[in-house]
Amino acid sequence: MNERTVEQGTELQGLSTAILLPSVDLFGGPARPALSPLTPIVGVGLFQRTVLTLQRAGIRQLIVLAGSEEDQLKQALARGPRVTIPVRWMPMREFPLDDPRTWESLAAEVRGYCLISGVGTVFSRQLIELLRHDVQEGHVIVVAQVSHEGVLQLEQTSVPGFRLGSAWNGIADLMVLPVSELSTAGQLAGEFGIVPIRRWLQHATVDGRVRVLTTGNDPSHWYHPVCTPADASRAERQLFSSLKGEFEGFIDRYFNRKLSGWFTRLFVALGLSPNAITIVATAVGLLAAVIFGVGTYAAGIAAALLFQLAAVIDCSDGEVARLTFTESPFGAWLDIAMDNVVHMAIFGGIAIGVYMNEVGSDRSWIPLALGAAAIFGNILSFALVNKAQTVKIASEWKTTVHAAWSDFMLKNVASRDFSVLLLLFALFGKLEWFLWLAAIGSIVFALVMLWVIRPSAIVTRKD
């Protein structure tokens, strides 16, 4: 058996299938008051956001048991961000949830485990990844929000027909079932004539086969039911607060991201694409470079403030991409490329501005030489960073030490934090000092990256 076959078999036995119930409550009780599955949350409808979050978290196929809104949901998926995983639609008029044959049909479509979810919720990718990681043979996993007492406990009793008590109020519309239990749930549907999940959970809890995953233990494992406009607002605030770029420094994390949220909300409302936002940030940065070239003290401060604004806006393109599921390899490359274009323009603009103030002196050539050195170092660093990211994506680092060095350089050095430093130099009227720092720093960074991606650090592939 080859390695690929083994990998496919492992995936089939894990949690790779999700069953979505956009029309009914997961536990078969009275329908929870909820907004429409098409209600937009940061520009993406609830149903679309559920599908795309599951896709991003590694779910490989979807089954949708849809009611009368099936056509609307199909249209929403077709015109929204790209869905790349197969979606099977099962109309509830043909596959009612209280019919054992529906559950037998579902069991025939699933291998290993299935995730069953409503669509009136917003949850994190990390929560689904945790569920995929934590599956255990014969156990069901229910997701629960931490109650006001701290930890939610499930009632366990063997009394037939018992009602779910107050301790169950925090149970999320999201759970994981072993495929072997789908048929069992179907038998209960035939016996009691109800949506069987609630009844099945009662039996499984008594048998000790229910595991509770609480969302309060890790801030990245969050879950928000969306039943009212106020819930929708809270879910949007949670989405904005969860944003974080892959490579960002101290200033990005604690300053730029605090301001970029306002621009991100504006850009989402305007419907701007991430690539369009990248161009906006680039235009602001290039304008800053032109103003640096004027060479006066006031121009230096104005240009430094504009460059800081460009850095803030530059955070928004990635935020909009993650919020609206519109990330792309080209968009990531464009963002990095335009950042470097702006940086080189800034170095050139400062060099010209300082040169304008020293025309006629014996030292007038120095700022031009420093600007050229900074631009050369930036070009070389850009090429080397691209190489390091390619090696990382291909998992070609020879050891974890080499990978750690690369991550350290990308996360802690290759950032926009120097924008604040530039503003300080402008305030003190010492932009020529910044040129020295930029020239030396870019060359040193390039040399270190050359060492990081040296041939002995990369796995040599043999064809």
pLDDT tens-digit readout, 182-215: 777 666 655 555 566 766 777 777 777 777 777 7
- CB under 8 Å to 443, separation ≥6 — which residues? 373, 376, 377
State phi, psi for 421 to the nearest 5 degrees: -60, -40
Half-sphere exposure of 98 (CA within 13 A, CB side): 9
Read off the pLDDT of residues 45-97 as tens digits, 9 standing for 90 and up. 999 999 999 999 999 999 999 888 889 999 988 887 789 999 999 998 888 87
pLDDT attached to residue 289: 96
Beta strands 223-225 and 121-123 are antiparallel
pLDDT attached to residue 149: 37
- Chain mean pLDDT for the chain: 81
Residue 134 has pLDDT above 60, yes or no: yes
Angle in degrees, CA 442, 445, 447, rounded to 5 = 110
Between CA 221 and CA 219 the distance in angstroms is 5
Read off the pLDDT of residues 152-190 as tens digits, 9 standing for 90 and up. 343 333 333 334 444 445 677 888 888 877 777 666 655
pLDDT attached to residue 250: 66
Between 375 and 31, name the one with better pLDDT: 375
Read off the pLDDT of residues 338-385 as tens digits, 9 standing for 90 and up. 998 999 999 999 999 999 988 878 888 999 999 999 999 999 988 888
Collapsed DSSP state (helix, strand, coil) of residue 408: helix
Per-residue burial over 8-23, b if 16 or more Cβ lie within 10 Å, else e, is eeeeeebbbbbbbbbb
The full set of domains in the chain, from first to last, is: 3-234 (3.90.550.10), 243-457 (1.20.120.1760)
Read off the pLDDT of residues 249-302 as tens digits, 9 standing for 90 and up. 667 676 777 788 889 999 998 999 999 999 999 999 999 999 999 999 999 999
pLDDT attached to residue 147: 45
